[in-house]
Amino acid sequence: MPELPEVETVVNGIKPIFEGQTIRDLILNRPDLRFPFPHGFQDDLNGAEVRSVYRRAKYICLDLSIGKTLLWHLGMSGRVVLDENEPDHKHDHVVFYLSSGHRVRYRDPRRFGFMDLVPSKKVSQSKFIGHLGPEPLSNDFTANYLEDVLSRRKGPIKPALMDAKLVVGVGNIYASEALFQARIHPETPANQVKDFEALVLAIKDVLRKAIESGGSTLRDHVRPDGELGYFQHHFHVYGKGGETCSICATSKIQHIKQAGRSTFFCDLCQK
């Protein structure tokens, strides 16, 4: 489900529910998601207070009073359910009962999501976070940086943008959309991209606008409060194979596979 804008939307939605609350009870309806829950997970979390909720890459991070941080990844189909009007579901694998009386359900049909518990002081060096590149919306993500790290890459630019070692948060949808906005063909060898300034600006712009729209609602992704994100209505290429390009009004949007993932682009607008 989620790329950076969707995770950001989820974090914004659950922040006021979790922060300052104690986890009174944690229910695990199975022993694992993508990976087994860490040893002692339930015991550690029961009674812990959530000090703050923040995002790093596509991880939701809950900083806890016990000196540990819960890393929570939504995978492809993970969803946080706050809305009590939403009926229970067979794929509600984790349930948090908070001191406020709120119940928070984690629903993930494909179970590509996972949770880990790491010492709060070592989050940035932890197994899942340690190797990650900069945040795309931070000042560390610049044209000079991107040009430097891509100078050793001969493979196509689109899958390179999705490599979290280089920059985090750019998934399959927003990689296609950002390249369209920057007018760069997705099969361009990464080290032959000309305008890194335009590419960095496009990535930041697409992600910021998606966050402003509450993310994208596609298939099973809905915001925690049950409201819908709207950015999917602003897609120029993603999922639009065969349609006429909305910008040039001439060429049809192409649909190809790169590294096993769908890529969409306009061969007239993107050179």
Partner DNA sequence: AGACGTACCTGACCGC
Partner DNA sequence: TGCGGTCAGGTACGTC
Q: 97 or 112, CB closer to DNA? A: 112
Q: Considering the rule CB under 7 A, would residue 224 count as an interface residue with DNA?
A: no
In the complex, the smallest distance separating the C-beta of residue 140 from DNA, rounded to whole angstroms, is: 18
Active site residue 3: yes
In the complex, the smallest distance separating the C-beta of residue 104 from DNA, rounded to whole angstroms, is: 19
- Catalytic residue, from 3, 6, 8, 177: name it: 3
Residue type, 74: L
Q: What is the dihedral of CA 236, 110, 71, 12, to 10 degrees?
A: 40
CA-based nearest residue to 136, from 212, 203, 215: 203
Q: 164 or 247, CB closer to DNA? A: 164
Which residues are within 8 A (CB) of 16 and not within 5 positions of it... i.e. 6 or more apart? none
CB 97 within 8 A of CB 108: no
- Measured in residues, the chain has a length of 271
Torsions phi, psi for 168 (to 5 deg): -95, 160
Torsions phi, psi for 218 (to 5 deg): -140, 130
In the complex, the smallest distance separating the C-beta of residue 123 from DNA, rounded to whole angstroms, is: 14
Site string for DNA, 65-84 (x = CB under 7 A): --------x-xxx-------
Size of the site for DNA (CB under 7 A): 43
Q: Considering the rule CB under 7 A, would residue 154 count as an interface residue with DNA?
A: yes
Give CA–CA dist 95/174, Å, rounded: 31
Q: Considering the rule CB under 7 A, would residue 122 count as an interface residue with DNA?
A: no
Active site residue 58: yes
Q: Report helix, strand and coil shares of the chain as percent, to nearest 5.
A: 25, 25, 50
Q: Which stretch binds DNA (CB under 7 A): 19-27, 117-125, 198-206, 256-264?
A: 256-264
CB 270 within 8 A of CB 256: no
CA-based nearest residue to 8, from 61, 51, 50: 61
Active site residue 165: no
CA-based nearest residue to 8, from 51, 52, 53, 55: 55
Q: 21 or 217, CB closer to DNA? A: 217
In the complex, the smallest distance separating the C-beta of residue 47 from DNA, rounded to whole angstroms, is: 29
What angle is formed at CA 39 by the lines to CA 32 and CA 31, rounded to 5 degrees? 20
Give CA–CA dist 71/20, Å, rounded: 18
- Catalytic residue, from 56, 58, 68, 105: name it: 58
In the complex, the smallest distance separating the C-beta of residue 108 from DNA, rounded to whole angstroms, is: 9
In the complex, the smallest distance separating the C-beta of residue 24 from DNA, rounded to whole angstroms, is: 29
Contacts (CB under 7 A) with DNA, residues 156-215? 156, 159-160, 162, 164, 171-173, 190, 215
Q: Considering the rule CB under 7 A, would residue 233 count as an interface residue with DNA?
A: no
Residues that bind DNA (CB under 7 A): 1-3, 6, 34, 57-58, 73, 75-77, 90-91, 109-112, 128, 131, 152-156, 159-160, 162, 164, 171-173, 190, 215-221, 259-262
Task: Enumerate the active-site residues.
Answer: 2-3, 58, 261
